[in-house]
Amino acid sequence: MLLMIDFIISFITYRTHYNLAIFYHPCASPFLSLLYSLDFLHLHLLEFYNIL
């Protein structure tokens, strides 16, 4: 279950960063803090897997 959540988070952040960088970068500032918090959560999940 956690691996599925981790995959979904990484997929969403990767795709959204890619789309924002190409199409919506001038308008992206309200969404960047949310994306960076998701990336931060993703890194913490990876650290959690390494501990286990």
pLDDT in tens, 4-29: 776 776 676 666 555 555 555 555 55
Q: What is the pLDDT of residue 4?
A: 73
Q: CB under 8 Å to 20, separation ≥6 — which residues?
A: 28, 31, 32, 35
Single pTM value for the model: 0.31
In one-letter notation, the amino acid at residue 52 is: L
DSSP state of 21: I
d(CA 46, CA 44): 5
Residue 28 φ/ψ, nearest 5 degrees = -90, -10
Cα atoms in the Cβ-side hemisphere of radius 13 Å centred on 40: 6
Q: Which two tokens stand for residue 11?
A: 């997929």
